[in-house]
Structure 1
Amino acid sequence: MMKVVSYGGGVNSTAMVIYLINRGDVPDMIVFVDTGAELPETLDYVDYFSAYLKQKVGMEIVITRRNSEGLYNYCLRKRIMPIMKYRWCTSDWKVIPFDKYISQYQGKKTVYVGFDAEEDGRVAGALQKSCNLKNQIKVFPLHDANITRDDCINIIRVEGLKIPPKSGCYICPFTPKREFREMKRNKPELFKKALTLELQHPKGRTIKQGVALKEIDAQGELDFMREYDPSIPCGCSDGQY
């Protein structure tokens, strides 16, 4: 049975790949789905980790996409944006492209997903959804081995690799307000794109519920420095897709 890693470009999925290789369970393929709205540091890390894998086990990360338009341009054209409640962006721009890519290979696949020991709910949800997948068996090596997120960070450090930045899209509705502030300061071109998407919405909706990017844009450096605390983790968890 073909073994495929669903690689998200963050801490969990990176540690999972290292863990699998070190226990002698080298996957046949590692797939990263690029939505077209990924943070640049995520794409940089995918390239960095892919180079490490080529040297260590002779394989590289496969990067696939839904299409050449990308999520951001799609949203701009349709005058829509990702929504917390429905998460259509994850389904349409991560899950479906991943499933489509691996479906070109015949037979059943074991799909490794990087949920850690503290993500019981996500594991249960993924297992429930996977009941409808005839050609995939989802497995969760980190969860099964009781490996926590802190353990994942240690696995990466012991391997001598850089710790991945938090993976995600720059128009993700789960992005904390403080990170949009950081984006405005350090990645103004991405913040401007997110702001443009928000301003063109016909019903005036915001990417993050209750937080208008135009208000963040109007606030000065003093507000940013007072409210931003890089030590506070966000509520996202990478590693599924």
Structure 2
Amino acid sequence: MPLMLDQRRRLRAALADRLLAVCYGAGVDSTAMLIALKLAGLRPHIITFADTSAEKPPTLDHLDRMDAVLARWSWPAIVRCRKQTLPGTAYGDLYGNCLANETLPSLAFGLKSCSIKWKQKPQDQAIKGAASGPNAAEPHSIWLEAARRGARIVKLIGYDCGRADLRRSRRLSAADADFDYAYPLQMLGWDRPDCIRVIAETLGAHMVPIKSACFFCPASKIWELYWLAAHYPDLLERALVLERNALTGRHSRFSEVQFGASWEDLVRSADRFPSTATTVGLGRSFAWNQWVRVNDVVDASFRVKRGAEDRRRFLAMADHLQDHGNALDARAA
């Protein structure tokens, strides 16, 4: 799927001779964005990936495979950025942060602070450096070059032309105090199927990655929970522990008076939570612990069922429910 001449001109007109920093999410869109840059003859100065220590194993494998691709292209390797915590902190990653504070990721409450703290800031520090603290480091050469030229760095974000990404990009500013922002896939007019196709045609179908997200992400779809149960039951169990810890912990937003029973009782005995604006679990309007019980994904001790027939059922349900606009759906079983 080569670029049309006008597409190549469009990308080069916007990005040629600029200082380019790719924010790489290791999913379909950001992988297609790297390919688009290559096809347009544009080479980024830095490629950063935010490592929350919560990605699914296939995403980490994809990072290694992409590093091999980048080496063949003579491009810079992916800089894996991870937030370091202060000595003595009870946790060292996002999962531990939620567990120690007895809370859910902020996305479960419609907020974005977990992404800013564990993804955006570590990537910014990889570029700008940090004068002190656990993440203290010298600025990257792209930051020094920007200062020398009196130029601004362009952060490249892999938002495609799907409705959700168009909505997200329209809400964002074109620049902040440190960076300009650009969306190469939207310049090209590519949607998710286009991105899947260009990856398969350029790098091979085996290089189409799964969706990059934490294994306890509140944005997970039902089919992804079945997928997780089939492939990584231990990770689903860890997510259930995190949710239970938060919804029965000291910062719980759950009100027994409002619901007429404890969160634990509803999880074990009810088919659904009463209608409420209160976040009742990782699913926001539903608790993962209750969902796995109602749908026979776990035993009485909330251990994911691991029998061969159970796994076949989970895989069949994931395949039946999945949205074919998602990256994972493009891959063979």
TM-score range, shorter chain: 0.7 to 0.9
Instruction: With the length of structure 1 as denominator, give the TM-score of the two structures.
Output: 0.88
SS of alignment partner, residue 70 of structure 2? helix
Does 2:167 align with 1:121?
A: yes
Tell me if structure 2 keeps the 8 A contact 1:9–1:45: yes
Q: Aligned runs of 1:12-161 on 2, under 5 Å?
A: 12-67=29-84, 69-82=92-105, 83-84=107-108, 85-103=110-128, 104=139, 105-106=143-144, 107=146, 108-118=152-162, 119-126=165-172, 128=173, 130-131=174-175, 133-161=176-204
Instruction: With the length of structure 2 as denominator, give the TM-score of the two structures.
Output: 0.65
Q: Which has the higher contact order (CA 8 A, sep 6+)?
A: 1
Q: Aligned runs of 1:89-238 on 2, under 5 Å?
A: 89-103=114-128, 104=139, 105-106=143-144, 107=146, 108-118=152-162, 119-126=165-172, 128=173, 130-131=174-175, 133-161=176-204, 162-201=207-246, 202=249, 203=252, 205-218=280-293, 219-220=296-297, 221=310, 224=314, 227-229=317-319, 232-233=322-323
Q: Percent identity?
A: 29
SS of alignment partner, residue 51 of structure 1? helix
Greater CA radius of gyration, 1 or 2? 2
Q: Which runs of 4+ in 1 moved over 6 A?
A: 234-237
Tell me if structure 2 keeps the 8 A contact 1:117–1:146: yes
SS of alignment partner, residue 172 of structure 1? coil
SS of alignment partner, residue 180 of structure 2? strand
Query: Where does structure 2 lack aligned partners over 5 or more consecutive residues?
Result: 1-17, 86-91, 129-138, 147-151, 253-262, 264-279, 298-309, 328-333
Q: How many residues align?
A: 234
C-alpha distance after superposition, 1:135-172 (max 9, x if no partner): 20101111011112111111111213311111111110
C-alpha distance after superposition, 1:120-144 (max 9, x if no partner): 2122122x2x54x222010111101
Query: Where does structure 1 lack aligned partners over 5 or more consecutive residues?
Result: none
Q: Kindly report the root-mean-square deviation, in angstroms, between the aligned alpha carbons of the 2 structures.
A: 2.3
